């Protein structure tokens, strides 16, 4: 009964915070599985400055990034021990080159060089190495013998597959011989440093031979004699733990891995990967192996790390309130909490834009953190106050936030400025958050602080600035100030060529949804802008020139050439890019590159294009002279303005297969078709009529592809199996009216012959349809 009650107690403690955090341990089969999807937050765990645990911050991967110079890197700690062994005679770089970067063959050649006293055969990478020279001269012979042996073992204990799909092959006979050879070396050596390493090689060989009983017995026998607790002891212990786990002893192997995790930094990552998530019963058994409270904290930490069960924090706090593990779990809990605070767009029926924040409250978690902070018995009490202050901010409890941050400043070491800077950022954010209505006075008072945050460029200041400006935007929307709301979202975080903005705003893709008139009026015709408003305008992602061009382009897409000129392009006519091809030119086959290459001098911008369109329209209305030719030129322009033409950028900024409600004419060639028919009707020249008819046929063919659905997002792929044809009711035979007329009535013209020669579609129609 006692055991059952203990298990019930464990279950209760494990799940005490379960309602706060998801604990999905599923892993994808990709290379970097998404353990914890991480959004940008303001509570950066780097403030802890603990390299020994930095890999265990919350991360999308199993481990967070850590420095290669950290002791978590096995190479660093091993090289440091070798460096001490050689009395600091050799640099770390030299030792790394010899131990980790030299191949077994390099070491064999080095041995031959010593045996034959022939330094000339030393591999190039070792030729200038002082330690290689000393080995050849006979210095440190025992260490050299060990190095040769270790390199002989190396091919048998690494992943030797050429690809991950190949079977892992082990030469167990050769490994057995090496194991016996290692035992002999171990018996002969009197050097304890080398003896530990021979013992490690022997235990590792047994483990990779999958002789688990031998692995366990060798470890117990050899390291009991050595009476050592060096890093090599724990390296070897990890193989014993692995052997126990392979034999099915999950609880004891997990205990050993927790000890390795706690005691040996260079095996900390491997130990955490091999500690398995435990149910309450197995967790209880594992805890029973622990010799003291500190060992239990490691078990609870690894359990929490793998399961995201932050109820383990309570257990660790009761066992060892000043545990560094507790701080890591606290940072992970807050980072995970931040993942649940996310932004979403609530589309406003008037403006089309509205930003809100979902604020989630965690009263039980906050109470725990606040209680631990106030007791001031943790490793860094000021960190706990800082965490409590941050949680208070998330809960909109600004009074508690200020109290907690005051405690941070009271306890903070004098030489630590980072906390003060981070607190200042959060206090500014709180002021924005707390302000219900944004008025001129508030804008004036907070402007310099906003500038300071934007220009800081450290301690997550960009994320904080984004958060602040989104809160500004949200409040402006509620105050019906659409312009300032959008200016806040479009504020640049820097002045680079491609700057990041507070929120992604793309007027060029959807200009019809942007209140361009309001924004331009605010920027251009508001002479009494405050310093805050000037700051918004000066740092907005779009310049006045950009806005005029975007609005003018939108008007061009609606064929409103007069207003495009009058209110937009006339203001920026000298700053518009040249069109790559002649929009009034048309060929039998569409070829944008050909049209661009044939144009010797670029003469059209959006301004001169719109101006020419108005001139042609005016000529048609005022005189009959050249009417057919003018209709034809207008038709060419209307065609080239579409997705299919050489000057599509007249009406759009991105050539996309998908039309939107903002540019309904982008895929529509009906205007061009209408004008080709007008040009044809205005001329008596049969050859010219044939040309107009063929160009109308191109419009008709494009309409077929649009009607068929090839330009819809769901039908983006233009290639379909026969049984998956989109819109099967749309038949191409119904879109060949102009081809038929051209064939029936204009077969004697020169243009007909030219089209027959250059256009395979038309040639196919004439050949196959009688």
Task: Tell me the pLDDT tens digit for each residue of 126-137.
Answer: 888 899 999 999
Predicted pLDDT of residue 262: 97
Whether the per-residue pLDDT at 607 is higher than 60: the answer is yes
Contacts of 614-622 with C-beta under 8 Å, sequence gap 24+, read 614/561, 614/562, 614/565, 617/561
Which is higher by pLDDT, 291 or 229?
291
Rounded mean pLDDT, 239-259: 96
Phi-psi region of 117 (alpha: psi -120 to 50; beta: other; left: phi over 0): left
Q: Which of 186-190, 345-349, 377-381, 450-454 has the weakest average pLDDT? A: 345-349
Predicted pLDDT of residue 662: 52
What pLDDT digit, counting tens, does each position of 115-124 carry? Answer: 888 888 988 8
The rounded distance, in Å, linking the Cα atoms of 42 and 21 is 19
Rounded mean pLDDT, 565-585: 92
Pick from 363, 296, 304: nearest CA to 331: 304
Pick from 398, 326, 397: nearest CA to 368: 326
Whether the per-residue pLDDT at 34 is higher than 70: the answer is no
Predicted pLDDT of residue 43: 87
Q: Which of 152-156, 357-361, 442-446, 483-487 has the weakest average pLDDT? A: 357-361
Predicted pLDDT of residue 205: 97
CB contact at 8 A, 183 and 214: no
CB contact at 8 A, 323 and 297: yes
Beta-sheet strands, E only, within 358-399: none
Whether the per-residue pLDDT at 155 is higher than 60: the answer is yes
Predicted pLDDT of residue 356: 30
Pick from 562, 578, 537, 665: nearest CA to 617: 562
Both tokens of residue 181?
């050879």
Which is higher by pLDDT, 353 or 66?
66
Whether the per-residue pLDDT at 357 is higher than 80: the answer is no
Predicted pLDDT of residue 718: 47
The rounded distance, in Å, linking the Cα atoms of 427 and 243 is 53
Question: Angle of helix 686-708 relative to helix 670-681, nearest 10 degrees?
Answer: 160
Mean pLDDT, the chain, whole residue set: 86
β-strand partners of 491? 540
CB contact at 8 A, 714 and 720: no
Predicted pLDDT of residue 497: 87
Predicted pLDDT of residue 247: 96
Rounded mean pLDDT, 253-266: 96
Dmax over CA atoms of the chain, in Å, equals 113
The rounded distance, in Å, linking the Cα atoms of 172 and 214 is 14
Whether the per-residue pLDDT at 714 is higher than 60: the answer is no
Phi-psi region of 448 (alpha: psi -120 to 50; beta: other; left: phi over 0): alpha
Q: Which of the 8 DSSP states describes residue 195? A: H
∠ CA 745-749-751, nearest 5°, is 110
What pLDDT digit, counting tens, does each position of 720-729 carry? Answer: 444 556 676 6
Predicted pLDDT of residue 61: 72
What pLDDT digit, counting tens, does each position of 38-86 carry? Answer: 345 788 888 998 888 988 888 767 777 767 778 888 999 999 999 999 9
Whether the per-residue pLDDT at 539 is higher than 90: the answer is yes
The length of the chain in residues reads 770
Whether the per-residue pLDDT at 664 is higher than 70: the answer is no
The rounded distance, in Å, linking the Cα atoms of 76 and 99 is 12
Predicted pLDDT of residue 658: 57
Question: Angle of helix 172-188 relative to helix 192-208, nearest 10 degrees?
Answer: 160
CB contact at 8 A, 348 and 354: yes
Predicted pLDDT of residue 469: 95
């Amino acid at each position: 009964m006692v055991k059952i009650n203990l298990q019930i107690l464990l279950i209760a403690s494990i799940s005490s915070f379960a309602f706060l955090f998801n604990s999905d341990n599923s892993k994808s089969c990709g290379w970097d599985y998404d353990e914890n999807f991480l959004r940008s937050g303001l509570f950066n765990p780097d403030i802890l400055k603990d390299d020994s645990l930095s890999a265990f911050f919350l991360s999308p991967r199993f481990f967070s990034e850590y420095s290669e110079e950290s002791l978590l890197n096995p190479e660093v700690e091993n090289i440091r021990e070798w460096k001490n062994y050689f009395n600091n005679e050799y640099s770390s770089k030299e030792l790394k080159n010899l131990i980790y970067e030299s191949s077994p063959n390099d070491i064999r050649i080095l041995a031959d060089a010593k045996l034959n006293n022939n330094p000339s055969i030393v591999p190039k990478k070792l030729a200038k190495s002082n330690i290689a020279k000393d080995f050849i001269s006979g210095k440190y012979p025992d260490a050299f013998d060990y190095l040769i042996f270790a390199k002989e073992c190396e091919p048998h204990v690494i992943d030797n597959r050429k690809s991950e799909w190949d079977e892992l092959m082990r030469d167990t006979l050769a490994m057995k011989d090496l194991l016996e050879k290692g035992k002999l070396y171990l018996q002969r050596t009197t050097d304890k440093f080398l003896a530990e390493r021979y013992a490690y090689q022997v235990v590792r060989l047994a483990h990779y031979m999958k002789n688990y009983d031998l692995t366990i017995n060798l470890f117990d026998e050899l390291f009991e004699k050595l009476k050592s607790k060096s890093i090599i002891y724990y390296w070897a212990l990890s193989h014993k733990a692995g052997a126990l786990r392979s034999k099915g002893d999950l609880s004891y192997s997990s205990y050993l891995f927790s000890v390795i995790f706690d005691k040996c930094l260079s095996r900390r990552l491997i130990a955490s990967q091999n500690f398995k998530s435990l149910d309450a019963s197995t967790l209880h058994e594992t805890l029973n192996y622990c010799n003291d409270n500190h060992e239990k904290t490691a078990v609870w930490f690894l359990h929490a790390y793998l399961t995201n069960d932050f109820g383990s924090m309570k257990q660790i706090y009761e066992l060892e309130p000043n545990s560094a593990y507790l701080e890591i779990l606290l940072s992970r809990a807050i980072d995970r909490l931040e993942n649940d605070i996310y932004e979403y767009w609530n589309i406003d029926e008037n403006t089309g834009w509205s930003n809100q924040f979902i604020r989630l409250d965690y009263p039980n978690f906050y109470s725990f953190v606040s209680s631990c902070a106030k007791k001031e018995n943790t490793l860094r009490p000021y960190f706990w106050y800082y965490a409590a202050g941050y949680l208070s901010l998330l809960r909109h409890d600004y009074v508690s936030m200020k109290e907690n941050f005051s405690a941070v400043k009271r306890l903070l070491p004098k030489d630590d400025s980072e906390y003060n800077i981070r607190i200042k950022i959060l206090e500014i954010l709180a002021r924005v958050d707390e302000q219900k209505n944004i008025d001129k006075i508030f804008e004036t008072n907070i402007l310099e602080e906003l500038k300071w945050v934007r220009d800081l460029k450290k301690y997550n200041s960009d994320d904080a600035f984004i958060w602040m400006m989104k809160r500004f935007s949200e409040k402006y929307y509620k105050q019906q100030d659409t312009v300032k709301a959008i200016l806040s979202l479009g504020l640049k975080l820097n002045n680079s060529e491609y700057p990041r903005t507070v929120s992604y705003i793309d007027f060029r893709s959807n200009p019809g949804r942007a209140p361009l008139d309001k924004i331009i009026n605010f920027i251009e015709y508001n002479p009494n802008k405050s310093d805050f408003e000037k700051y918004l305008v000066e740092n907005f992602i779009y310049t006045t020139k950009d806005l005029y061009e975007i609005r003018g382009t939108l008007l061009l897409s609606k064929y409103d050439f007069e207003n495009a000129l009058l209110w937009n392009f006339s203001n920026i006519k000298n700053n518009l890019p040249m069109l790559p091809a002649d929009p009034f030119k048309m060929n039998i086959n569409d070829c944008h590159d050909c049209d661009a290459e044939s144009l010797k001098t670029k003469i059209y911008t959006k301004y001169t294009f719109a101006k020419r369109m108005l001139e042609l329209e005016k000529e048609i209305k005022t005189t009959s002279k050249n009417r057919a030719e003018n209709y034809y030129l207008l038709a060419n322009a209307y065609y080239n303005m579409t997705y299919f033409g050489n000057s599509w950028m007249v009406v759009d900024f991105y050539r996309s297969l998908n039309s939107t409600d903002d540019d309904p004419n982008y895929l529509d060639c009906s205007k061009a078709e209408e004008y080709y028919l007008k040009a044809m009707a205005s001329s008596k020249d049969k050859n010219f009529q044939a040309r107009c008819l063929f160009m109308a046929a191109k419009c008709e063919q494009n309409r077929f592809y649009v009607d068929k659905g090839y330009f819809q997002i769901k039908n983006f792929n233009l290639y379909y199996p026969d049984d998956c044809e989109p819109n099967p009711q749309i038949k191409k035979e119904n879109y060949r009216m102009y081809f038929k007329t051209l064939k029936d009535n204009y077969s004697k013209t020169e243009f007909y012959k030219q089209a027959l020669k250059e256009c395979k579609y038309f040639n196919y129609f004439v050949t196959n349809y009688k």
